[in-house]
Amino acid sequence: MTLLVTVACGKFPPELRAQLSPFPEVLNNGTQMSKNKTAVIVLAAGMGTRMKSDLPKVMHPLAGRPMIKHLLATVEGLKPERIAVVVGPDMDDLEQAVAPHPTAIQTDRLGTGHAVLAAREALEGFTGDVLIVYGDTPLLSKHTLVSMLEARRTKPNPAVVVLGFRPFDPGQYGRLMVDEEGDLNQIVEFNDATAEEKEEDLCNSGVMCVDGKLLFNLLDQVTNDNAKGEYYLTDIVELAGEGGSRSVVVEGDEEELLGINSRVELAAAEAIIQDDMRTKAMENGVTLLDPSTVYFSHDTKIGKEVTIEPNVFFGPGVTIGDHVHVRAFCHLEGATLEGGSTIGPFARLRPGSQLDQGAKVGNFVEVKNAVLEKGAKVSHLTYIGDARVGEEANVGAGTITCNYDGFDKSHTDIGAGAFIGSNTALVAPVKIGDGAIVGAGSTVTKDVAPDALAVSRADQRGVDSWAKRFRQQKNKD
Ligand code: UD1
Ligand code: CA
C-alpha cells in the first residue's frame, strides 16, 4: 500500500517538519531536510506531433530561447550533482542546446517509463534523489521542485513524490487516486481510467521525485499491459506500494504546470512569461505605457527611470541603461543603449548596435554593428551599418552607409562633430574626419579631411521662365 500525504506547495505541515531526517540541513524557509544528493532527468524524446513542426517540440522558443533552456535554467538552480536529458534519435540541435549536460538517446518511443530507463547509464552509481521532469513543462518553478525534494527528504521519507495539481479542465491528464485517508493507491492514465476514476480532479503533472536507490528496480518491473501499450512511468507508484514503500503528493499551481503540446499552448506559455517579465520590469523602475504590447527576451536588461512606449519588441541580447527613452514601435536585438539615449519611434537596432550616453536614433533609422558615440544624432530615415559615428556628430535624413559590395562588408568612420548632409551615400570603406561637413546629396567615395567640406553632387543649372513656358505649351495641347 502507498501512504500518501498531500502537501501544499512550500507549506509544510508542522507534524512533518517535526520529524527530522538523520542529517538535517536548514533551508531558507526553515524546513529541515537530509543532505541527499540530487540528480535530474529531463524527458525530451518526443517530437511533439501536435506542434506540426520539423523542430523537436522542446526547441520551440519562449521569450527568445528554446523552451528546454528555461527548464534547464530552473533545474540548474538546484545545483544537482547530475542532469541527464533524454532525447530522440537525430536531434543534434537539441543535444547542442542542452550541452554540456549529457544526453541519453531513447531510440524507440515506448513510453515515459521506458524514456527514464534510457538514462540508466547516465545515473550509474547515483543513490540520491532523482527528479524527473518533462521537457515540455517550461514554467515549472525552482520553489516547487524544492518543495518536492523537501517532501522526499522529510520523514517518513516517501520513495516517490508526485507533483499533483487541480487543473480547471482535467482533460486527459493522469489521475491521482487518493482514498479517504488521503492515501494514494495509484496513478491511472486517462485512457485506462473508468468513468468514476475520470471524475477525480487531482491530476498528475508528470513531475516526480524518486529515491535513486529504488528507481531503476521499480522501472524494471513496469509492463506495457495498458490501453496505449506503453511503459508508463506512473506505474512506479503502485509498484513502490507493493514493495512496502510510501509516496507523497505535493500540490502545485496549474499555471506553472502548463504542458506545451500545441502552438496554442506555446502562445499561452509565452503570454505568462511575458506578463511576468513586464511586472518585474515595472517593479524595477521601468515605465511601460501599455505593458501588454511590449515583448521582452529572457535576457533583456533594463536600468532605472526608463520609459518604454507601446509596441516595442526586444530580441535577445539587449541591455538598456538608466534614463533611456524607447519610443513607440521599435525593434531591438543585440543592442546596448547607455544612459540618457533615445530611440524611435519606429527605430530598428540590429545586433552590434551601441548607443553611448545621450545618443539619439530617430524614426525609420536602422543601425547594425555600429557605435554612436556620446550625443551623436541620427534622426531620420537612415541606415548606419558597420560604422562609428563620433561624439556629437549629426547624420542627416536619408544617409546610407553603403557597407556591402555584394561580397564583403566595409567600415565607415564618421569623426566627432562631423555633419553629414541629407541624402548622402557613404561608400565604405571611407572616413569622414572630425568636424568635417558633407554637402547634402553627396556620394562620398574618398576620405574627407578633418574640418573640410566634401560635396560631390552635380552643379545646379537654372533656366529663367522655363517652367512657365512649359505650362503654357501643355495647356495649348
Ligand atoms: C504524461 C503522464 C500523465 C500526466 C501528463 C502530464 C505518463 C504515462 N503519463 O502523459 O499521467 O498527466 O504526462 O503532462 O507518464 N517522452 C519521452 N519518451 C517517450 C514518451 C514520452 O521522452 O517514450 C517524453 C515526452 O517528450 C514528454 C514527456 O515525456 O516530454 C511526456 O510524454 P507525453 O507523451 O506527453 O505524456 P502524456 O501522455 O502527456
Ligand atoms: Ca504531454
Mind giving me the DSSP string for 206-258?
EEEEEETTTHHHHHHT----STT----GGGHHHHHHHTT--EEEEE--TGGG-
**In this structure, which residue's CA is closest to atom 3 in ligand 1?**
174
- Summarize pLDDT for 166-216 with one digit per residue, the tens: 999 999 999 999 777 666 779 999 999 999 999 999 999 999 999 999 999
pLDDT at 46: 87
- When comparing pLDDT for 429 and 184, which is higher? 429
Report the C-alpha gap between 328 and 311 in whole angstroms: 6
Identify whether residues 283 and 246 lie together within a single domain. Answer: no
**Set of cell numbers at residue 330:** 521599435
Of 33-37, 235-239, 316-320, 402-406, minimum mean pLDDT range: 33-37
Q: Of residues 143, 298, 325, 380, which has the active-site annotation?
A: 380
Ligand 1 pocket: which of 112, 232, 238 to mutate (most atoms <8 Å of CB)? Answer: 112
- Summarize pLDDT for 396-412 with one digit per residue, the tens: 999 999 999 999 999 99
Q: Which residue, 335, 10, 3, 253, is CA-closest to 151?
A: 10
What percent of the chain is modeled with pLDDT above 70? 92
Identify whether residues 235 and 347 lie together within a single domain. Answer: no
**Considering its fold, how many domains does the chain have in total?**
2
The CATH number of whichever domain residue 444 belongs to comes to 2.160.10.10
Within a domain: 43:
yes
**Set of cell numbers at residue 41:** 532527468
Within a domain: 476:
no
Within a domain: 287:
yes
Within a domain: 374:
yes
- The residue ranges of DSSP E strands in 390-420, in sequence order, are 394-395, 400-402, 412-414, 419-420
**Set of cell numbers at residue 140:** 515549472
Identify whether residues 430 and 300 lie together within a single domain. Answer: yes
- Ligand 1 centre to CA of 163 (Å) is 14
- Summarize pLDDT for 377-395 with one digit per residue, the tens: 999 999 999 999 999 999 9
What is the Cα 40 distance to its own chain's centre? 20
- Residues composing the chain: 477
**Closest ligand to residue 109's CA:** 1
Identify whether residues 227 and 281 lie together within a single domain. Answer: no
Within a domain: 475:
no
> CB under 6 Å to ligand 1: residues?
43-46, 86, 106, 109-112, 114-115, 134-136, 173-174, 187, 189, 203-206, 232-234, 259
Within a domain: 5:
no
Identify whether residues 288 and 247 lie together within a single domain. Answer: no
Mean pLDDT of 219-234: 97
* Mean pLDDT, the chain, integer: 92
Of 14-18, 159-163, 305-309, minimum mean pLDDT range: 14-18
Q: What is the C-alpha end-to-end distance of the chain, expressed in Å?
A: 104
Banded pLDDT at 33 (limits 50, 70, 90): low
Report the C-alpha gap between 277 and 156 in whole angstroms: 39
Range of the domain at 284: 276-454
In the residue annotation, 380 being an active-site residue is answered as yes
- Ligand 1 centre to CA of 112 (Å) is 5
- Ligand 1 centre to CA of 2 (Å) is 22
Identify whether residues 130 and 168 lie together within a single domain. Answer: yes
Banded pLDDT at 416 (limits 50, 70, 90): very high
Identify whether residues 87 and 129 lie together within a single domain. Answer: yes
pLDDT at 421: 98
Identify whether residues 281 and 222 lie together within a single domain. Answer: no
The CATH number of whichever domain residue 162 belongs to comes to 3.90.550.10
Within a domain: 289:
yes
Report the C-alpha gap between 335 and 354 in whole angstroms: 6
- Ligand 2 centre to CA of 266 (Å) is 13
Identify whether residues 92 and 232 lie together within a single domain. Answer: yes
Within a domain: 364:
yes
Identify whether residues 152 and 186 lie together within a single domain. Answer: yes
Identify whether residues 203 and 286 lie together within a single domain. Answer: no
pLDDT at 5: 36
Identify whether residues 241 and 283 lie together within a single domain. Answer: no
**In this structure, which residue's CA is closest to atom 39 in ligand 1?**
173
